[in-house]
Amino acid sequence: MVEPKFFETIAPAYDFLTRLFMGGTYESMRKRMLNEDTSQMDILDLCCGTGYISNSINARRIVGLDQSEAMLARNARVKRGNKELIKGNAYQINFKEGEFDRIYNSSASHEFKLFSRLLQKSFHALKPGGKIIIFDIYQPKNTLLRLFMNTFVKYVVERGIMFVHTKEEWARMVTEAGFEIEELEPVRGLYIFVKARKPEQAGLPAAA
């Protein structure tokens, strides 16, 4: 995790640096996150940044939430009639129950000490049958990659604080929030891809 003001400074170079750091993973993961027809869906890009998802996705309604004014300003350079950008803290914002068909959280989970809270909020904000799609760095199993993650990535890229989880921890967090896991897969040793679904019956009263 970096100080919020870090993003205020880095925003102009963010896209360039991320592409450089992630190499081919940058485009391939976006393709994987957006590999379905979402044109008639309402979507939330949670921690949207400069618009990695919100400026690429085809959707009926696009809501981008981020706490960084500078990242949002970069995002807003791409004009889209159905896009709404909200400045706010993801821990504090409350969306209506069942407001979205899809929630995307890309490269941001490691910023949150209590990411399970965001999972709970996302569960609430999704329609029954809706899905959350997450992509980020994770805690690798491989010893060398683990060393790389917990030294270079942690201290050079993330300035000393980051919250990354093993595949098993991801499975537990997502399940505990009430989701059914559809995909949970490490990618290229350093990243994790998660697609999880809010069960259809989750929207019904307990007695039904």
Contacting residues toward ligand SAM, per CB under 6 A: 7, 18, 47-49, 52, 66-68, 71, 89-91, 106-108, 111
Distance CA 133, CA 195 (A): 5
Q: How far is the CB of 188 from ligand SAM (least distance, A)?
A: 16
Between 106 and 122, whose beta carbon lies closer to ligand SAM? Answer: 106
Q: How many CB atoms lie within 10 A of CB 164?
A: 22
Minimum CB separation of residue 17 from ligand SAM in Å reads 10
Q: Output the CA torsion sign for 14, 15, 19, 22.
A: positive
In the bound state with ligand SAM, the residue whose beta carbon lies nearer, of 83 and 202, is 83
Nearer to ligand SAM, 25 or 150 (CB): 25
Report, in Å, the least distance between residue 131 CB and ligand SAM: 17
Smallest distance, ligand SAM to C-beta of residue 160, A: 15
Q: Which residue is nearest to ligand SAM (CB)?
A: 49
In the complex, the smallest distance separating the C-beta of residue 37 from ligand SAM, rounded to whole angstroms, is 21
CB closer to ligand SAM, 149 vs 202: 149
Structural tokens at position 178: 């009430």
In the complex with ligand SAM, which residue's Cβ is closer, 115 or 123?
115
Considering only CA atoms, give the Rg of the chain: 16
Q: Would you list the DSSP string of 123-188?
A: HHHEEEEEEEEEEEE---SSHHHHHHIIIIIIIIISTT------HHHHHHHHHHTTPEEEEEEEET
3-state secondary structure of 42: strand
CB of 158 to ligand SAM, least distance (A): 9
The smaller minimum CB distance to ligand SAM, of residues 91 and 152, is found at 91
Q: What angle do CA 18, 30, 14 make, to 5 degrees?
A: 20
Of 96, 53, 72, 59, nearest to 7 (Cα)?
Answer: 72
